[in-house]
Amino acid sequence: MKTKKKILLINPRLNVSKGSIRRLPTPLGLMYLGNVLEKGGHEVSILDSACEGYNNITIKDDIETYGLSDEEITKRIREENPDFVGVTCLFSKIEEEVKTACRIAKSVNPNISTVIGGIHPTLFAEKLMKENPEIDFIIQKEGESRLLDLVNNFQDYKSIDGLVFRKDEKVIINPPTRIEDINKLPLPARHLIDMEKYIDVGLFSNPFPKKERVAQVLASRGCIYHCDFCSTPKFWGKFRRRDAENILEEIIHLKDEYGIQEIQFRDDNLTIDRENALKLFRLMKPLKIVWCSGVMLQALNEKMVKAMAESGCYKLTISPESGSERILRELMHKPLQLEQVKPKVDLLHKYGISTHSDFIIGYPGETREEIYQTFEFAKEIQTNSASFFIAGPCPGSPLYERCKKKGWLDQGWRGDYKSSGIHIKKTDSEYVMSEKELIELTEKNTREFNELTKNNDPQAWIEKYKIFLEKHPEQTEKIMGRVV
């Protein structure tokens, strides 16, 4: 007979490079897990350390860490007295915070079973298990059914797919499968968090919203492309999308239950299935809600853009990545033709949709001239804003594996994309320039771009940052710098 268990899901402290915006997105992954566990008959609570301790900041080596102190986390775990503590580790840069949360749980009660999941544990499962006795289990890839299986079958967990555990001092890794139909997942359990705290801070994935009451929605998992710098295919696998009606159900719930005025879609693949996307936009139109997202340029045409605008889309982020066809084709393996970009940016502007563009510079093998091509290309396409990232070895990406093989990895890299994390000898053919020069070049051109867009349309600039500046006037200077 199944016994009801108590599970505490923890979002650990977060960190950013000094001078960056301390974003506070809602922990969607934990909320998905929470609903599955509750429907399985268990008692669940979420401790979002970053949210509850948002203004508790420590700075070390130009890294700002924010969230509850060890003492506060200890107090909360003791109060909750859970059977299981699950900690999410989406990014490698918070590995230490994740391990700290597990150590605290064990110090409160050695009988608490600690479980971690996310991209980083999926990729480095064996190493984490060998080096960190405070971690009892790792769940690889998607965790919804696996964590429930572990809780339900704790006396006989050894056959659960995707589960990593120890047996006779050996690390056992059960190969993970994937969820084929993500429409079957329940909606995220937002009742387990205090939505008003996130709304009050107002710094979601897009920290410059149009409305105050914002929520985030995940419309798909995976990707059809395999760009060299990206870990999405490695973690999520093949592309799977939610049906338009399924997404609409969540949006209506958010509007009715929480008074949400703006949706930020967390994925970049909203329009890959054109018919499903067009249907979603038709269904969203009567809701009178605004939204923003990342988007694949390849999926845009006038019919799609018009439907987006009519459904409330106010901003899209595009990712040309480079102003060099050679870099895109030979190094990044990104299926984009640069000649497509400007006409589609113009099309978006025609329908009143603001644009933001993302670029990567300093790619191994890139020339100085190609870096300047990227800065010039960003100005030519005339998006309303842009971010320039320094190429970094994202774990799980082909680029990471190549850097590892060639000995280029900086083991101390924090995954901030303001620094390189890739160190190539000057004598190597792939050498680009010194990291110091790369950082200075990026800083200079970012500020030039931001000044240009501000001067070209001061009113649009004010409108874009209005809510951010009202809530966080002390962070005005960050707008002009490198927001990552």
Same fold, 6-173 and 202-480: no
Topology adopted by domain 6-173 = Rossmann fold (3.40.50)
CA pair distance 152, 143, nearest whole angstrom: 14
Query: Is the predicted pLDDT of residue 414 greater than 80, yes or no?
Result: no
Topology adopted by domain 202-480 = pyruvate-formate lyase- activating enzyme (3.80.30)
Least trusted range by pLDDT, from 66-80, 109-123, 187-201, 398-412: 398-412
Task: Give me the sign of the Cα torsion angle 129, 134, 136, 142.
Answer: negative
- pLDDT for position 1: 46
Average pLDDT over residues 380-386: 94
| Amino acid making up residue 193 | I
Model pTM? Answer: 0.95
Least trusted range by pLDDT, from 136-140, 232-236, 257-261: 232-236
Question: pLDDT for 122-141, tens place per residue?
Answer: 999 999 999 999 999 999 99
Q: Where do the domains of the chain lie?
A: 6-173, 202-480
